[in-house]
């Protein structure tokens, strides 16, 4: 119970930060939803990193490394270390500048204004919001599971999940973006510092990592974990497209709008790869170490290997502190709940006349009511579907693909003056249909799925290697579908835009003041 | 950088363990992440889009209110509902 008490203390600190931010805040919509666009460099970096890192980063990565080895770091972390800062540099800064100049609070507001569309923006809102919901449910589930594991079962899943949902809801409700940014900053510092501490203490506990790695390298069954033999080259190559999703995540894009100045992005662009290294290297490494300590875990059982290592090799106080650091990652649902609330109030409530009719104060309270509603629904879903966590994890994996495939729409809207709303609609519908098709194919081909280590199976033998079923999902010619979805989305955005009427000269001059007269 | 990420020469190598603990593939990608930070620093130093900072932006500061959604309704100026 000592560990659980420390985690409760952590939750209390988080709650205080949210309420403290509430006291500093104002009653305006821009303050509640965007912290008055006031975040300075360091807070902006830590809050943005905390927003983008979820339970998937620390628990999912270690669980995956347990089965597939050290290649998981190259697959997800170092690819992100290259692509995500580039998306902030090329997309995030522009989104921020347009947002500040023209008053946008969400991606959809920017797209509506830039592409001169209304209901097409609502379609984009629907797709991006639908892909965000599984994250929130997963966050609540992760909180329930983590508290249950840390307390040794004394805090049951339903109580842990409820507590996490209540705490997150409270500080998002009171503190809005200011509270969320402060909490994310605190959480990022916590899991970066104590993640390193966990590595040191677990290293002592297992008798030194040198001995563990020597054991793994010397046994044929585990030596592959120290190589990339369990990841195909095609998968490794195509995974580079996944981090394109980062700036299309509504919570990340909205966080980009909170910077005080464009200069605030500089520190983030430069330091983001180092933050990724500090978080993911211990996660992946400990996942591989766990294969030596707890052999034989199945896919669903391996997500808590870091918690198992903590319980086995540290005392209750340290396990509690480190458990709080893990909770910091798990509780990334805050910015996602706030993003959904912001999107609903700005893209639906305000756009369809709610603010004009009821005023800005009502808009803020609508956002707060939405936050309560979403947190409650997420908790109920987490309770009802406790044993079906895999569905949400799958949905999250699909969401990465979907958001990445929407990136060409955003890039075209920012950099190509000829981009049109019809191009955006075609690309968005393509992503929605392709995602639904992939989901169906994934479920339909589940009985064909080979075991780990076995070669992929053609789903339709007549089509050759077009659709292959691997243990993890569906690939196309061995590549992840995200590559083809991105290419299709870019082609449609380009082709349909050229075939349809360009935006008005007024809009082009507004967004491309120096290039309005050029092709 | 994209090509350097595809280090096929490390694919099947489990040894030598760097510092006695890191397999070569993991050590390489840890170094790659540091290299990314260096490349980003160069990008920020030599290719920063200075035009994004408008004159007068500094004065806004915390809680400042530039041309915010109050004035545009968060919809921009050319919005129509035909889409």
- The A residues from 66 to 95 touching B (CB cutoff 8 Å) are 70-71, 73-74, 77-79, 81-82, 85-86, 89, 93-94
Token look-up 């500061």 returns B61
CB-based contact A10:A163 (threshold 8 Å): no
Q: Helix (H, G, I), strand (E, B), or coil: what is residue A328?
A: helix
The full DSSP string for B6-48 is --GGGTT---SPBTTTB-HHHHHHHHHHHHHHHHHHHHHHHH-
Chain A interface includes B68 (CB < 8 A): yes
- Which residues of chain A lie closer than 8 angstroms to B70, CB-CB? 30, 103, 360
Cβ count within 10 A of residue A26: 14
For chain B, the distance separating the N- and C-terminal CA atoms, rounded to the nearest angstrom, is 40
Q: Are A113 and B32 in contact (CB < 8 Å)?
A: no
In A14-97, the DSSP E strands lie at none
DSSP letters spanning A43-111? HHHHHHHHHH--HIIIIIHHHHHHHH-THHIIIIIIHHHHHHHHHIIIIIHHHHHHHHHH---SHHHHH
- Pairwise CA distance, residues A117 & B81, whole Å: 6
Whether A361 contacts chain B with CB within 8 A = no
3-state secondary structure of A476: strand
Query: Which tokens in the block code for residue A442?
Result: 């994934």
Judge contact between A157 and A429, C-beta under 8 A.
no
pLDDT band, residue B76 (cuts 50/70/90): very low
**Cα dist from A162 to A18, A89, A133, A141, whole Å:** 18, 38, 17, 9
Query: How far apart (Å, rounded) are the C-alpha atoms in residues A258 and A271?
Result: 18
Q: Please give, rounded to a whole number of angstroms, the shortest distance from the CA of B62 to a CA of chain A.
A: 5
pLDDT of residue A114: 94
> What CA–CA distance (Å, rounded) separates B52 from A157?
48
CB contact under 8 A, B80 and A214: no
State how far the Cα of A372 lies from the Cα of A346, in Å rounded to an integer.
17
The CA distance from A100 to the nearest CA of chain B, in Å, is 7
SS3 A112: helix
| B3, B4, B13, B26, best to mutate vs chain A, most A CBs in 10 Å | B26
pLDDT of B52 reads: 80
pLDDT of residue A419: 95
Residues of chain B positioned with their CB less than 8 A from the CB of A26: 63
Of residues A81, A116, A236, nearest to B80 (C-beta): A116
ipTM: 0.89
Residue-level pLDDT at B54? 62
* A78, A100, A285 ranked by CB distance to B5: nearest: A78
CB burial of residue A298 (10 Å; 0-12, 13-18, 19+): exposed
The CA distances from residue A218 to A66, A226, B17, in Å, are: 17, 11, 12
Q: Do B79 and A114 lie within an 8 Å CB cutoff?
A: no
Does the beta-carbon distance from A89 to B43 stay under 8 Å?
A: yes
Q: Which of A366, A398, A338 is nearest to A131 (CA)?
A: A398
- Of all residues in chain B, the one with the smallest CA distance to A343 is B74
Strand partners, A39: A259
CB-based contact, A274 to chain B, within 8 Å: yes
Which residue of chain B has the CA closest to A232? Answer: B11
Helix, strand or coil for residue A491? helix
The pLDDT value given to residue B77: 38
Which tokens go with A479? 């590549």
A414: number of Cβ within 10 Å = 19
CA atoms in the 13 A half-sphere facing the CB of A379 = 19
Contacts of A105 in chain B (CB under 8 A): 69, 74
Profile chain A (519 residues) by mean pLDDT over runs of 10 residues. 80 82 67 85 90 73 87 90 95 93 92 90 87 82 79 83 86 85 86 80 87 89 87 88 90 92 92 92 91 80 79 78 74 83 88 78 83 85 73 70 94 94 95 92 88 83 88 87 95 97 93 65
Cβ contacts of residue A510 below 8 Å, gap of 6+? A102, B77, B78
Question: Residue B14 is encoded by which pair of tokens?
Answer: 């489990």
The verdict on B31 touching A (C-beta cutoff 8 Å) is no
Could you please report the per-residue DSSP string of A182-244? Answer: HHHHHHHHHHHHHHHHHHHHHHHHTT-HHHHHHHHHHSHHHHGGGSSTTS-HHHHHHGGGGGG
Q: How many Cα neighbours within 13 Å face the side chain of A390?
A: 9
Residue B82: the pLDDT is: 38
* pLDDT above 50 (res B81): no
pLDDT in tens, B40-61: 999 999 999 888 876 555 444 4
> Helix or strand or coil: residue A39?
strand
Q: Which chain B residues touch A89 with a CB distance below 8 Å? A: 40, 43-44
Measured between CB atoms, does A41 come within 8 Å of chain B?
no
Task: Walk me through the domains of chain A, giving residue ranges and CATH numbers.
Answer: 2-385 (1.20.1730.10)
The torsion angles phi and psi of A467, rounded to 5 degrees, stand at: -115, 115
| Cα A356 from Cα A362, distance rounded (Å) | 10
Mean pLDDT of B23-35: 95
The verdict on A387 touching B (C-beta cutoff 8 Å) is no
98-157 of A, contacting B, C-beta below 8 A: 100-105, 109, 112-121
Residue B32 distance to chain A (closest CA, Å):
7
């Amino acid at each position: 119970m000592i560990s659980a008490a420390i985690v409760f203390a952590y939750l209390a600190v988080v709650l205080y930060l949210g309420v403290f931010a509430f006291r500093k805040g104002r009653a305006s919509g821009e303050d509640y939803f965007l912290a008055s666009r006031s975040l300075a460099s360091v807070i902006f970096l830590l809050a943005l990193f905390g927003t983008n890192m979820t339970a998937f980063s620390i628990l999912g990565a270690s669980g995956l490394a347990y089965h597939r080895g050290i290649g998981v770091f190259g697959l997800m972390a170092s690819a992100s270390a290259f692509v995500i800062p580039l998306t902030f540099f090329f997309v995030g800064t522009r989104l921020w500048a347009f947002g500040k100049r023209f008053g946008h609070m969400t991606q959809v507001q920017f797209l509506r204004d830039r592409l001169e569309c209304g209901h097409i923006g609502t379609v984009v809102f629907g797709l991006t919001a639908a892909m965000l919901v599984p994250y929130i449910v997963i966050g609540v589930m992760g909180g329930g599971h983590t508290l249950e594991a840390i307390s040794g079962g004394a805090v049951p899943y339903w109580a842990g999940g409820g507590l996490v949902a209540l705490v997150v809801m409270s500080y998002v409700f009171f503190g809005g973006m200011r509270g969320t940014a402060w909490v994310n900053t605190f959480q990022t510092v916590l899991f970066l510092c104590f993640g390193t501490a966990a590595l040191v203490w677990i290293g002592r506990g297992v008798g030194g990592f040198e001995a563990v790695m020597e054991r793994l390298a010397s046994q044929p069954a585990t030596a592959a974990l120290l190589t990339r033999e369990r990841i195909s080259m095609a998968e490794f190559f195509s995974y580079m497209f996944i981090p394109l999703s980062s700036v299309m995540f509504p919570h990340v894009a909205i966080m980009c709008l909170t910077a005080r100045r464009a200069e605030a992005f500089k520190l983030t662009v430069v330091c983001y790869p180092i933050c990724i290294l500090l978080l993911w290297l211990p996660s992946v490494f400990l996942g591989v170490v766990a294969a030596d300590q707890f052999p034989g875990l199945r896919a669903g059982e391996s997500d808590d290997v870091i918690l198992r290592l903590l319980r086995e090799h540290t005392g209750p106080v340290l396990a509690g502190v480190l458990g709080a650091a893990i909770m910091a990652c798990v509780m990334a649902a805050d910015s996602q709940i706030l993003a959904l609330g912001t999107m609903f109030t700005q893209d639906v409530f305000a756009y369809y006349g709610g603010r004009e009719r009821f005023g800005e104060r009502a808009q803020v309270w609508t956002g707060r009511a939405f936050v309560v509603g979403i947190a409650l629904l997420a908790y109920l879903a987490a309770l009802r579907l406790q044993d079906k966590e895999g569905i949400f994890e799958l949905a999250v994996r699909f969401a990465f693909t979907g958001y990445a495939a929407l990136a060409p729409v955003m890039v075209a809207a920012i950099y190509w003056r000829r981009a049109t709303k019809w191009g955006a609609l075609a690309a968005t519908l393509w992503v929605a249909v392709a995602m639904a098709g992939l989901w169906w194919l994934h479920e339909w081909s589940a009985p064909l799925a080979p075991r780990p280590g076995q070669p992929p199976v053609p789903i339709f033998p007549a089509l050759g290697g077009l659709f292959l079923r691997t243990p993890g999902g569906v690939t196309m010619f061995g590549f992840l579908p995200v590559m083809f979805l991105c290419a299709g989305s870019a082609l449609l955005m380009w082709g349909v835009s050229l075939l349809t009427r360009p935006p008005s000269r007024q809009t082009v001059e507004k967004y491309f003041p120096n290039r309005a007269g050029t092709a | 950088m994209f090509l350097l990420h595809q280090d096929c020469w490390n694919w099947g190598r489990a040894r030598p363990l760097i510092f006695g603990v890191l397999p070569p593939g993991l050590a390489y990608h840890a170094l790659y992440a540091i290299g990314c930070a260096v490349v980003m620093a160069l990008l920020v130093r030599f290719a920063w889009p200075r035009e994004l900072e408008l004159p007068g932006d500094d004065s806004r500061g915390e809680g400042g209110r530039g041309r915010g959604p109050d004035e545009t309704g968060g919809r921009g100026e050319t919005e129509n509902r035909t889409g």
